[in-house]
Amino acid sequence: MPSQSKSANVKTLLRPADTAIHGIRPGAVRLTVRDLGRMRRFWTHSIGLAEIGSTGNVLQFGVGQRVLIELEHVPSAPLPPRNATGLFHVALLFAARSELADALRRVLQSGARLSGASDHLVSEALYLDDPEGNGVELYWDRPRHQWPWSDQGLKLASDRLDLEDLLGGNDPFKATSAVVPEMTVIGHVHLKVSDVAVSENWYRTILGLDVTSALPSASFLSSDGYHHHIGMNTWSSAACPTAEIGSQGLAGFELVLPAAAVNDVAERLAGKNFAHVRHDGLTVRDPSGIQIRLRETS
């Protein structure tokens, strides 16, 4: 998978976790969908994931045997309020800039439309929505030694990304692979939360993530000095309700971590009387009602 080895000086972390948990990375993201046909075509044709399995009404998409996206088909799923908490975007991380260029070609050749393209200083990213309005980011990371750390944390930006430069001056409609490379992973998950301060504190104290960068209405947290594994904002969801369980949109997501770390999280949750389920890892809902499954590293 793309390298996320630690190179940042811990003194540059904006708000380090009280007791950090190492080795955390995002796993599969599950979406509740109403129109399975359109969603399947988007994730296979526009994004380039392979359909690799199914369980009941859940289809699994990914690369090789690595599940990245799960689509839970519920045709009658209620529509959540537009300002409800949930998914801002799920981000697929590519190992090289050339792979991101190929991802752009797949999007354009499928007829899908970008909603944005940004240079974040640490990465270059493309943005679009799936047919049911779930945000999707496609990105690659610059080498870690180029990341702009300071004593105020990690500097992030949203500068314009030159798509012609990304494509290297080549025809965007030239032939490219129909599937993503095997090193593609879920790089991060960005959430819509009801209160950034409350959510940030929970992810720091319970999951042991460090805050690397923050705005008054957004925060970015990670394990082991990565720029962020979890993003969160209140740009449209401040003090807003949690979507009804089973609604269209984010059903939940995985975080993968060592078995000992899962036990540590369970102890922290129990110490704060925070409801959770220990079965096949650990399942819990964060303060915004978003379901997280902690899966032990295989």
Domains of the chain: 10-296 (3.10.180.10)
Percent of the residues in the chain that have a pLDDT greater than 90, as a whole number = 89
Instruction: Report residue 11's pLDDT band, with 50, 70 and 90 as the boundaries.
Output: very low
Structure tokens given for 199: 């959510």
pLDDT score of 2 more than 70: no
Tally of CB atoms within 10 A around 151:
8
Q: Kindly report the length of the chain.
A: 298
- Residues sharing a CB contact under 8 Å with residue 101, sequence separation 6 or more, in sequence order: 166, 167, 168
Mean per-residue pLDDT, 22-48: 98
pLDDT score of 10 more than 60: no
Distance of CA 101 to the CA centre of its chain: 20
| CA 157 vs CA 6, 62, 263: distances in Å | 21, 29, 36
pTM equals 0.94
pLDDT score of 193 more than 60: yes
| CA 274 vs CA 10, 240, 241, 265, 278: distances in Å | 29, 21, 19, 11, 12
The mean predicted confidence, pLDDT, of the chain is 94
Instruction: Report residue 172's pLDDT band, with 50, 70 and 90 as the boundaries.
Output: confident
Q: 211-255: per-residue pLDDT in tens?
A: 999 998 999 999 999 999 999 999 999 988 888 999 999 999 999
CB 139 within 8 A of CB 91: yes
Mapping DSSP to helix (H, G, I), strand (E, B) and coil, where does residue 58 land? strand
Mean per-residue pLDDT, 3-32: 78
Q: 39-97: per-residue pLDDT in tens?
A: 999 999 999 999 999 999 999 999 999 999 999 999 999 999 989 999 999 999 999 99
